[in-house]
Amino acid sequence: MKQFFFLFTFSFLINYSSFAQKQGRERIDSLSLKLREAKNDSNKVKLLIDLCFTNYSINPDEGIKYGKEALELAESIKWKKGIANANSKIGINYWAKSDYPDALKYYFIALKINEELGDKAEMAKNYNNIGLVYRNQSDSANALENFNKSLKIYDELKNKVGIAGILGNIGLVYSDKSDFDKALDYHFKALKMNEELNDKRSLALNLGNIGTAFSKKNDYSKALEYDFEALKIQEEFGNKNGIETNFGNIGNAYLKISSDSNKQALNKFFAGDKIKALQESKKYLDSAITIQKDIGALMDLKNSYKDYSEVQASLGDYKGALESYKNFTNNKDSVFNNEKAKSITQMQLKFDQEKNRCNCRYRIKKTTAAKICIHSWVDYSSLFFIFPFQTKEKNYERKRKERFFIAQYSSHRYCRRIKRNRSFKSKKL
């Protein structure tokens, strides 16, 4: 996210077509009972895929386990449709864990198989989910490209559920681009379609997105109205991803109300009492962080800790603020390192492939092959030599910031001055 505050919005994931009425933990228990009696055939693959998908918002690690079991079985019985669906649902669980490189890996495998099968409905789902990953990586151009590919297919298929979902996701991209009026236009179109379809799960996503857009427009009253509506539905379904996102959004809204120069929202909700607004923000951020730790939502956890640090500092808890800021930087590094490690692995694979090609050429023309291998080794190895120094530089910068905070917080005179001003002002580093 470009902003420092936690405004991660909901994202629409196209639902598995056989998803029945039971939801959440109740559905997992029901499917687990059926799984015990299932034979090793396509029906068992379907059960495992259903368990994989249902777990993405509750326990993504468990979802990945079921997905890989489904993939192995589908491959053993040579069922291509099952292989494609298993890859797709495994990707969704990695997305829920903020592991974007692995999410894309499985999505692209699923897309390739569905293209071979000519399965347009599944292709539309794949394009949508690929778009979500690009959006999470702040790549608006690729996100819109994939969302529009998905929308085109759903228009051809006259699939209203799919159209509503993609409209919402396009709204997210425009919100990222700070075109909030256009974003709200897309979100309200999606909301209207889902109301007609009586799709409460998707309604919760639309409501959350609308709340976020209003918050970005500094209309906190409307933001909280839609956030609380969304939270109520997510709690009915037991959707941990949805619940923690709404907790974080509500906590952020209260934080912004506490510091807004326009006192309208502060007067409306807290009778002008800034401390009460901060305490309410702290309560919701506490709840968000607890769930984010539990499900491993590193990106959301990072943003929540940053908000939490600001709340603690504003309440005069400077030691706690420093600790939360450290947690923010540590989680920021974790997200960075996870993605960078995957990139290095991909570069190593390319290097190995190039090296193998060089060895083949060597048997034909020794001199030419030797030159190719040398150049390839230099190109790729330079990336591995450069990366550790970049990481070292980032770690140095992080430690420099922490030393700055420690120096400021340990200064008794500085703290007394802050208390007199009743606000914490961060210096530019």
Q: Domain ranges for the chain, please list them.
A: 321-421
Furthest-apart CA atoms within the chain: distance in Å: 83
Q: Does this model's pTM top 0.75?
A: no
What is the model's pLDDT at position 149? 97
Tokens standing for 21?
A: 């009425």
pLDDT tens digits along 155-175? 999 999 999 999 999 999 999
Task: For the chain, list residues with pLDDT below 70.
Answer: 1-24, 332-429
How far is residue 106's CA from residue 88's CA, in Å, rounded to a whole number?
A: 6
How far is residue 54's CA from residue 261's CA, in Å, rounded to a whole number?
A: 44
Tokens standing for 51?
A: 């368990």
What is the model's pLDDT at position 388? 42
> Strand, coil or helix: what is 38?
coil
How far is residue 415's CA from residue 405's CA, in Å, rounded to a whole number?
A: 12
Burial of 207 (C-beta count, 10 Å sphere; 0-12/13-18/19+)? buried
Kindly list the distances between the CA atom of residue 20 and the CA atoms of 9, 30, 178, 239, in Å, as whole numbers in the listed order: 26, 11, 37, 16
What is the model's pLDDT at position 346? 45
Tell the residue number behind the tokens 């929202």, with chain if given: 265
Determine phi and psi for 316, rounding to 5 degrees: 90, 5
What is the model's pLDDT at position 261? 86
